[in-house]
Amino acid sequence: TVELPRFPEAAMEDRENDATSALSSCGSRTSLEASPAKMEEHTFNDWTVRCRVSHILPSKCSSSCRENEPCILCRYTKELEIPHLPEMVFPFNILELEHKSGCLVQFTALEALKLVKKENLIVKIACSESWKKSREDSGIVEKKIGDFDWTFRTDYNGTYNGWSTRQMSDTGIDLEVLKKREQILLYKDLMLFEDELHDNGVAVCNVRMRVMPSGFFVLLRYFLRVDGVLIAANDTRIYHDFSTNHVLVETAQREDKVDDLQVPLGMMTEPDEITSRLTLRNSTCEKLILPR
């Protein structure tokens, strides 16, 4: 199994400073209401990177909520067809990369949750019922409690706008190139949503990005651990070499039963450690062509 490149520790230490240094305020392409947090904006070559890190979704409807102007909680409830939301949703967190041609890649919690399956997950264990019962009186969502994928598994790989040419590719991302030591011009780590599955594991979706002098790399990951049952990860890797006219998008779905994993227990709680040990179940690679 090829060990996937990690994000540099130095950059990880600096991410808090990055997240709080709002350089400029700009409009978002999402339909979400304005957030108290400002949008950062950075320019690299022909690309503009926008990022916002903000607070979690409130658990109760706002007193100022109106039918024609619903609060953010009601908007999520209306747009998502699932009976419950994760314990922590970050509706205002956003990462956006825009090329000068208008080609756009964007990551938001709402779009990720739209792909959660409406039917029940194959994994049926005792904590599923207790998990649903614990939310009956929470007031988080007023929909009828029913069967659905309570692990919030999503195949979301980003939102893409303005790309006229997308083609399947046999040439994937060169991991050796990503392992080369380069200066990190910008690093971001954003949480989209997280749920502890009623203390029976974790489901988390986050996106990380680093910009180097040679290009940028993005890792979007949905990670699932159901204690004693299974571990799964849906990864999307996006890489662009500034000297080329295309962007590579790789997706990989990995999953194993816990009983089949011969690894230390401590490793199972570390997504970056365990993911590369999981069996690859499906993968794709796309090449997105930039206009000349």
Per-residue pLDDT tens over the stretch 150-194? 899 999 999 999 998 899 998 889 988 899 999 999 999 999 999
What's the mean per-residue pLDDT of the chain? 82
Tokens of 221: 């990951």
Looking at the domain assignment, is residue 2 inside a domain?
A: no
Measure Cα distances from 6 to 3, 65, 73, 217, 256 in Å. 9, 43, 35, 11, 22
- Residue-level pLDDT at 123: 55
Domain assignment of residue 70, given as a range: 9-289
Q: In the 8-state DSSP scheme, what is residue 35?
A: -
pTM beyond 0.95, yes or no: no
Asked whether residue 1 is domain-assigned, the answer is: no
Does a structural domain hold residue 177?
yes
168 with 187: CB under 8 angstroms?
no
Whether 267 is in a domain gets the answer yes
Q: Are 53 and 36 in contact (CB under 8 A)?
A: no
Tens of pLDDT, residue by residue over 83-134, are 889 999 999 999 999 999 999 999 999 999 999 987 665 555 545 555 455 5
Is residue 3 a part of any domain in this protein?
A: no
Asked if residue 4 is part of any domain, the answer here is no
Query: Structural domain tally of the chain?
Result: 1
The candidate with the shortest Cα–Cα distance to 190, out of 27, 50, 44, is: 50
% pLDDT > 90, the chain: 55
Question: Which tokens hold the place of 250?
Answer: 């790789």
